[in-house]
């Protein structure tokens, strides 16, 4: 492409991981007044803005998902491997509130093993990069996604939900087999914009930052702080863990491994990750 290579690192742009999430949907009777499809005032952008002040409440006061569950999709796991999130409204075209009342359930594997890449496609800065997510390319991702969807169905059809979640409108009760569900997921799921991994740290040939020598060299050269995400997979959420570590590292770009700074009690919680051999903290 005519771009001078200053330092070749084969791992740059590789190991891209993201949360690929199907959105399952159920209708909720308007008469119950339980969703923002029927509770949102009109003109709701103005009134909802006033509603959030002085105390966060109403539609604009919602977090990304006000209800969230972390679940184990199979026996023998030390920690949950899937997340299910619920939002109390349906969305129509152009992300507008739908006229029908309902609820959306979003689920995904927590630690995706499907890997893709992102690379420059042109020397022109206004040309978008080539992004290849390779969603669901790993068997574990497919298995966990399917089981998370089935767990969600069991929750939404439980006796306590009778008369509340009335009809499954996506994917629909007619879609049941693994192949049918995966085909629907591939055509309808969306990223949750939690990309991680393309600046992988560690000591293997695909590592972009190698602790500690290259961390000091490249971190200081770029005037960037360095955080090692290769030694532990703490918590349940790959993107949240990255953000938390980034906020917590010191100004010294080689502040050391996170494990080195854990208390003895915290260090004792580090356990092997069954699937990948990585480690994570039991919660």
Residues 186 and 141 sit within 8 Å (Cβ to Cβ): no
Q: Which two tokens stand for residue 41?
A: 């005032």
Instruction: Tell me the DSSP string of the chain.
Output: --PPPSS--TTTTEEEB--EE-EEEEE--GGG--SHHHH--SSHHHHHHHHTSSS--SGGG--S-SEEEEE-SSTT-SS--EEEEEESS-B-GGGPBPSS-EEEEEEEESS----EEEE---SSTTSPPEEE--TT-SHHHHHHHHHHHHHHHHHHTSGGGTTTS--EEETTTT--SHHHHHHHHHHH-EE-S--B-TT-BSSSTT-SB-TTHHHHHHHHHTT------SS---SS-HHHHHHHHHHHS-SSTT---TGGGS-HHHHTTEEE-TTTS-EEE--
Backbone phi and psi for residue 61, each to the nearest 5 degrees, phi listed first: -90, 0
Q: Which two tokens stand for residue 248?
A: 């917590």
Domain map of the chain by residue range? Answer: 19-191, 213-281
19-191 CATH, one of 1.20.120.430, 3.40.50.300, 3.30.530.20, 3.30.560.10: 3.30.560.10
The residue-averaged pLDDT of 84-111 equals 91
Percent of the chain residues topping a pLDDT of 70: 65
Query: Of 19, 194, 237, 280, which is the active-site residue?
Result: 194
Position 208 scores a pLDDT of 82
- Distance between CA atoms of residues 275 and 109, nearest Å: 13
Position 70 scores a pLDDT of 96
- Distance between CA atoms of residues 187 and 132, nearest Å: 16
Position 190 scores a pLDDT of 94
Closest CA to 112 of 170, 226, 192: 192
Instruction: Please count the CA atoms within 13 angstroms of the CA of 242 that sit on its side-chain side.
Output: 14
Q: Which two tokens stand for residue 7?
A: 């330092």
Instruction: Please count the CA atoms within 13 angstroms of the CA of 217 that sit on its side-chain side.
Output: 8
Position 58 scores a pLDDT of 62
241-245, 254-258, 275-279: segment of lowest average pLDDT: 275-279
In whole angstroms, how far apart are CA 253 and each of 29, 172, 218? 55, 50, 9
For helices 178-188 and 139-156, angle between their N-to-C axes, nearest 10 degrees: 100
98-112, 129-143, 165-179, 236-250: segment of lowest average pLDDT: 236-250
pLDDT tens per residue, range 223-244: 455 555 544 444 445 556 655 6
pLDDT(261) > 50: no
In whole numbers, what is the pLDDT of the chain averaged over residues?
Answer: 77
pLDDT(45) > 90: no
pLDDT(161) > 90: yes
| pLDDT confidence tier of residue 205, bands split at 50, 70 and 90 | confident
Is 194 noted as a catalytic residue in this protein? yes
Report which of residues 17 and 236 the model is more confident about: 17
| pLDDT confidence tier of residue 249, bands split at 50, 70 and 90 | low
The residue-averaged pLDDT of 131-149 equals 97
Report which of residues 181 and 199 the model is more confident about: 181
Residues 255 and 225 sit within 8 Å (Cβ to Cβ): yes
In whole angstroms, how far apart are CA 258 and each of 2, 142, 247? 39, 31, 12
pLDDT tens per residue, range 56-70: 566 666 777 889 999
């Amino acid at each position: 492409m005519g771009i001078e290579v200053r330092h070749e690192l084969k791992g740059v742009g590789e190991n891209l991981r993201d949360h690929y999430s199907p959105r399952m949907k159920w209708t909720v009777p308007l008469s119950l007044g339980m969703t923002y499809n029927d509770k949102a005032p009109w003109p709701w952008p103005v009134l909802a803005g006033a509603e959030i002040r002085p105390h966060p409440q109403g539609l604009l006061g919602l977090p990304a998902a006000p209800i969230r569950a972390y679940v184990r999709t199979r026996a023998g796991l030390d920690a949950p491997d899937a997340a299910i999130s619920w939002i109390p409204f349906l969305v129509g075209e152009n992300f507008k509130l739908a006229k029908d009342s309902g609820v959306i359930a979003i689920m995904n594997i927590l630690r995706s093993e499907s890997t893709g890449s992102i690379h420059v496609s042109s020397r022109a800065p206004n040309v978008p990069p080539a992004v290849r997510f390779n969603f669901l390319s790993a068997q574990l991702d497919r298995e966990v996604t399917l089981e998370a969807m089935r767990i969600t169905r069991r929750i939404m059809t439980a006796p306590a939900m009778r008369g509340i979640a009335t009809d499954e409108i996506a994917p629909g009760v007619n879609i049941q087999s693994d192949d049918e569900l995966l085909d629907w997921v591939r055509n309808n799921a969306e990223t949750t914009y939690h990309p991680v991994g393309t600046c992988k740290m560690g000591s293997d040939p695909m590592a972009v930052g190698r602790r500690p020598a290259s961390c000091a060299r490249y971190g200081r050269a770029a005037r960037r702080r360095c955080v090692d995400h290769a030694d532990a997979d703490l918590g349940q959420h790959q993107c949240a863990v990255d953000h938390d570590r980034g906020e917590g590292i010191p100004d010294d770009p080689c502040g050391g491994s996170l494990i080195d700074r854990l208390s003895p009690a915290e260090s004792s919680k580090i356990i092997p990750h069954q699937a990948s051999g990585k480690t994570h903290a039991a919660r």
